[in-house]
Chains A and B, each alone.
Chain A
Amino acid sequence: MPPAPGNTASQAITAESLTKKFGRREVLHGVSFGIEKGSVFGVIGPNGAGKTTVMRCLLDIIRPTSGASTVLGENPRTAGPALRRRVGYLPGELFLEGRITGRRLLSHYADISGPVRPGRVDALAERLGLDLDRHTRKLSKGNKQKLGLVQAFMHDPELLVLDEPTSGLDPLVQQEFLAMVREAQANGQTVFLSSHMLSEVQQAADTVAILRDGRIITVATVDSLREGAVRHVRLTAAGISASDAGALLAGVPGIGHLEVLPAGDGVELSATLGGAIQPLLRVLATLQLTDLVLQEPDLEESVLELYGTIRGNGGNGNGGTNGAGRRRRRGHGA
């Protein structure tokens, strides 16, 4: 069952059972989610998962085959230009051609969007390190992307819809972009962004939806993803046999990929931990540790594992992703 879109008044975006067919090919199979006003919501998924299609439906660039959505409380299909003035949009593939300077192009987009505060464009361009007086067609991919970001942010819209916003940006500019997103959120603006990399989304977003093959696999907070994420454990211990150490660790909930090698009079051991840390620590306290590494959780890996699970056994498997407390899982068996 799709998660209930919830109370529309508190939600910047709701989507209910959105489907989209291009000819006979269905690319969205009933996508439902809600985005709280003032939150940063990320959608991740591999290329072709349907992220761009969802965003285009919300902007009324394409029309869903069935299902309903609201944007800032209105139906994007009928709300018209007044609604889109309240939204800032960055398309996934940004094409800016023509013999026109960035400044003139932005002034054109300002004419057809919400009012832009004086000095706002220059301030944004300076933050991102963008030269507004160059012709757009001579800009590099990264600089075009910056122009697209300025265009989306400049009228301080209530809602930002950003398709792969960090694509083509160097790491320093990515950090600046993240700061812009945090400021927008502090300002009460809502941000809906997409990426095929979790690492890009996790720093910015409160909540993440994972989309694959036109279906939402899970919606989770970044915190709960982190809880459910897999940590790597490596240790060496003295005075214990490999089989004893193995048996001891195997009893800890959430331990996987356990490998134990004898080393001197003790063992070298590596494993993954997909659950709480406390039970592991209790076991470790009984060992004579000579070295211990407990890595930060790798969300990327846990998400990839999630993709793998869904892909591997057709949908309902729960293995490898223990302990996802608040995760809503929607099974879609073939």
Chain B
Amino acid sequence: MNKFRFAFFGALLSLVILTISCGTSRKTGYSTQIPETKTLSILAVNDMHANIDQFPRLAFIADSLRNLYPNLLLVSAGDNQTGNPVNDQFPERGMPMIELMNALHFNLSAMGNHEFDPKPNALAFLLKNADFDFISANIHPKDTINFPIKPYRLVHLPNGLTIGFVSVIEINQRGIPDSHPDNLTGFSFSNPISTANQYLFLKDSCDVLIYLTHYGYENDVKLALQFPQDVVDLIIGGHSHTKIDTEQIHNHILITQAESRLKYATLIQMKILPDGSRTKTAQLLTVGNKGQVNEEIAKMVDKFNDNPRLNTPIAEATDDFSNREEIGFLMVDAMRASSQTEIALLNPGGVRLAYLPKGPVTVKDVYLMDPFGNETILYRLTGHELKSLLTNAFRFDDYGAIIPSGMRTRYHLDQKGELINVELYTDEGIPMELNRLYSVAMNSYMASVYVYEHEDPGASNYTTTAVSMIEFLRKIGKIPSYRDQQRVEIIK
């Protein structure tokens, strides 16, 4: 046994990139007296974003730590979902992540904003099939049967410790988490901080009180600073994808977060001494995908990755698409249809496939056309603002014109090729009203690189343009020909 432990410690040391020795020793005002020193070990991850390829490695680390610390708790601070087509396009969307988290014996997960991405019915299915609980105190489902999201959970360990976990999720300025509003039908949300404070009473029922949040690191600090002293022991956070590899204690509360996509996990250890005082340490462990793995989990991941659905036709192109412009027309039409705006715009660099043959189109084809993971951003822009955008974009994109849907454009260049003017027309060839407001969709890359005058700052619909296109193609089935279409005219 000793030999095994020695060997394991050697392996574990290679995983540890930094140790945060918080070394806080204090007496709590609330803790019950425990006659002997007891330990709590937690392996925490956050924002995994369906990066299933790291699971065999995470499983190996969890298995190894369980050999050392049999009471180890494995928890996620939310955003388990979204970010990998193998998971996101699975027939039961999101199930690969749930099955893998079940197989690794996760104890608990916070609800992250991306947990809502699969849409309410699919979310209910995922919650039903998870062997672990999802918690969030400021998410209030109307239907608590199908959405059994509890505000907190008490975990009783075999060593006699009772651990209280409470969770809150970030709410944006519209009063909802960052997800498509349609995905949030049937839920209401309350203020994270005031809600978090309502559950401090749990300290009377547990030895250690932990906030497992999906609130962002800076917000976690604000949360910690406003708590009464010596009530909350830890905040295990997510959402901001912050890599915490230095000591972060605020108001005696240790705050952790392990960046994202399972590059890292945090091993948290607490010792609760007989007098109620406690020490806390956190170690950021490298997960990655190199090193020893759990073979059974690796087989599960291989099976998910060998997903024929990604190569199954979702629509049929009735004609060849022989250049980027034609493919761009299809992509921007899909964006406009799915966002239900009057106009959609696509930057010329946003089309990454130059040829799409007549015949079946698969999910994989869509990700080849649009591999960036950009989301759709919605605006209300005047004709003047649109004109300003198109002018700026033409120069920024080295004289490549924006690909429009729902409108036509005519660029006038001088003898040197410099842009003189852009004219905007409706699809029927009528000049657009420059003082009118138009609903406009574009991708998040365009929304961040084109600097132009506009009142509306815009808002994401929290759906990637690729996912929107997949849904659009499934709906239309037959893709019409875009051969010889002309929406942009450049006149020298």
* A-B interaction: no
